Amino acid sequence: MLGYKSGIAEVMTKITILRDEFEHVHDTNPIEHIGSRLKSPESLIAKVRRKGCPLTLDAIREQIWDIAGVRVTCSFVSDIYRIRDLLISQQDLTVLAERDYIAEPKANGYQSLHLIVQVPVFLSDRVEAVTVEIQIRTIAMDFWASLEHKIYYKYDGAVPERLLVELREAALAAARLDATMEQLHDEVRALAAGSTQGRGAASPSAPSDELLSAFTHLLDARRVEPPLV
């Protein structure tokens, strides 16, 4: 467990460095939040038994890939792929598998991108390659996934069919929200770029009245309403 905890620390450091760079060097920061979790020994043993995995350390390392997990929350779907590309380009990070649940959503409507990676952990007498699962998803889908987890925990996995249908509808609504907000973001950014080109030199000052007015009219035209809570 110490090895997996160290693997989480390595991946968290990589992502934190990227977040800090975006925060201080670039105009936008695609990383909204970073979190991590390490399976408890009890949870791990329960999964090992469900999968029929032999109760040996080597077998567990080879067959159970989500003992150590890191979650990255982004504003937009395009940010997810941007972070994925930046991570897999790092030379000391080896990608074992990629599961794109955005291109092919799960049956319950869940959309996210999962990377199974190995990172080197430098110990006093050796270097261990530790497997870590990285989940990258939007704010909306992260909220949905958190709610779904709580519901499954409350019903001990036996969730009523009615709730399963409503959960899937909620996931589809979250995906539609992501698509709408990304389109709005792209259009506003295009308006800002056009406004900057029209004025000549770029200015770091607050958005112009013309841009704010255009954004307001754009929202009114699309009749975007805040999600219900």
Which residues are designated catalytic?
133
Q: How far is CA 74 from CA 17, 112, 139, 205, in A?
A: 15, 11, 6, 25
Is-contact 136 80, C-beta < 8 A? yes
The phi, psi pair for 129, rounded to 5°, reads -90, 110
Say if residues 181 and 78 touch (Cβ distance below 8 Å): no
Q: Following DSSP, what letter does each residue of 128-190 receive, concatenated?
A: EEEEEEEEEEEHHHHHHHHHHHHHHHHTTT---HHHHHHHHHHHHHHHHHHHHHHHHHHHHHH
The β-bridge partners of 100 are 113
89 Cβ contact partners less than 8 Å away, ≥ 6 residues apart: none
Contact 132, 69 (CB under 8 A): yes
| 168 vs 130: CA distance, rounded Å | 34
What is the DSSP code (8-state) at residue 9?
H
- Spatial separation of the C-alpha atoms in residues 143 and 138, rounded to whole Å: 9
